[in-house]
């Protein structure tokens, strides 16, 4: 993905997110393109063009993926998919794009030193879901937070995680990483994540990495995958503690009812992520692995 196309997707995100929110809120009435375009104050042709450029498919096609029925259907299916994969000894039905996401947890001793002696790079880069602040060390990506004009707040949050580390800004490297995280076409490769959390939190995050792109699951289903079926509240706390957005796909977890649920970087962005993944799968005709 070129710099210009990634920036274009980032600019288009705000428009598309509003359209997605309207489609999902009015899914039962099956709104047409003219109605959706009127809601976002664009011509039908302009909205169609922006939508296709952002997602690869039209708003009408997106509507199939954004109803509560889709969420409920995904929940009914995901238990069987997950259990079959886990029972067969597989880690799960798929991973994000073609990237092999590997991770390494910090030790309690490393966390206690507050990053002393560590160099942390960071920078803001455009993504399909708006700008994001990305942080990394030599061991991998340690932070990814989406920004809504609050870059300074996100930078303070990153600094608080690493108060004794040497922080240095590098937007060019952040853009390079963003291109790898959000490629125009799935590309084979490897991204390494550096996880900072309790043993249980890390276990939950690793389980999420084994879910397939656009696969939704409930809190109880996720709790079952980490052998803690009664720990739905603790699973929710682990999701809330995640500081590496999108790559650790908390956006795929929804409530038992099929409702969207909360998300650190806004429910609107969460539903856009779910729709974007579903749209990319629809374009490719298969689940990215």
Instruction: Give the CATH fold of the 68-284 domain.
Output: Arc Repressor Mutant, subunit A (1.10.10)
pLDDT tens-digit series, residues 28-83:
788 999 999 999 999 999 999 999 889 878 888 887 776 666 677 677 776 666 66
Per-domain residue ranges of the chain: 3-63, 68-284
Structure confidence at residue 283 (pLDDT): 63
Distance CA 248, CA 57 (A): 25
Q: Which residues of the chain have pLDDT under 70?
A: 1-4, 66-70, 73, 78-100, 185-189, 282-289
The answer to whether 1 touches 179, Cβ cutoff 8 Å, is yes
pLDDT tens-digit series, residues 32-47:
999 999 999 999 999 9
Residue 250 is a catalytic residue: yes
Those residues whose C-beta lies under 8 Å from the C-beta of residue 226, and which sit 6 or more positions away, are 200, 203, 204, 207, 235
Distance CA 40, CA 124 (A): 27
Given 103, 142, 250, 286, the catalytic residue:
250
Structure confidence at residue 188 (pLDDT): 60
Distance CA 47, CA 16 (A): 8
Taken in order 15, 19, 24, 25, the sign of the CA dihedral is: positive
Structure confidence at residue 85 (pLDDT): 53
Instruction: Give the three-state DSSP class for 107.
Output: coil
Structure confidence at residue 18 (pLDDT): 92
Global pTM reads: 0.86
Those residues whose C-beta lies under 8 Å from the C-beta of residue 29, and which sit 6 or more positions away, are none
């Amino acid at each position: 993905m070129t710099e210009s196309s990634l920036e274009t997707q980032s600019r288009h995100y705000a428009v598309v997110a509003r359209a997605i929110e309207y489609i999902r809120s009015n899914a039962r009435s099956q709104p047409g393109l003219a109605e959706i375009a009127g809601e976002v104050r664009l011509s039908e042709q302009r909205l169609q063009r922006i939508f296709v450029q952002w997602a690869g498919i039209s708003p009408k096609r997106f509507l199939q993926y954004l109803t509560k029925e889709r969420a409920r259907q995904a929940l009914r299916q995901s238990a069987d998919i997950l259990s079959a994969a886990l029972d067969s000894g597989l880690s799960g039905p798929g991973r994000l794009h073609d990237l092999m996401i590997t991770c390494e947890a910090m030790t309690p001793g490393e966390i206690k030193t507050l990053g002393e002696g560590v160099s942390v790079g960071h920078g803001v880069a455009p993504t399909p879901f708006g700008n994001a602040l990305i942080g990394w060390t030599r061991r991998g990506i340690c932070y990814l937070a989406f920004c809504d004009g609050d870059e300074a707040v996100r930078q303070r949050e990153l600094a608080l995680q690493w108060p004794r580390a040497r922080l240095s800004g590098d937007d060019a490297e952040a853009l390079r990483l963003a291109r790898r995280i959000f490629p125009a076409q799935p590309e084979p490769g490897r991204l390494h994540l550096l996880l900072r959390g309790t043993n249980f939190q890390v276990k939950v995050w690793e389980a999420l990495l084994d879910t397939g792109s656009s696969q939704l699951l409930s809190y109880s289903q996720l709790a079952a995958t980490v052998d803690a079926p009664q720990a739905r509240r603790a699973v929710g706390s682990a999701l809330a503690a995640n500081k590496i957005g999108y790559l650790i796909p908390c956006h795929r977890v929804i409530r038992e009812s099929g409702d969207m649920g909360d998300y650190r970087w806004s429910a609107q962005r969460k539903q856009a992520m779910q729709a974007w993944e579903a749209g990319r799968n629809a374009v490719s005709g298969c689940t990215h692995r």
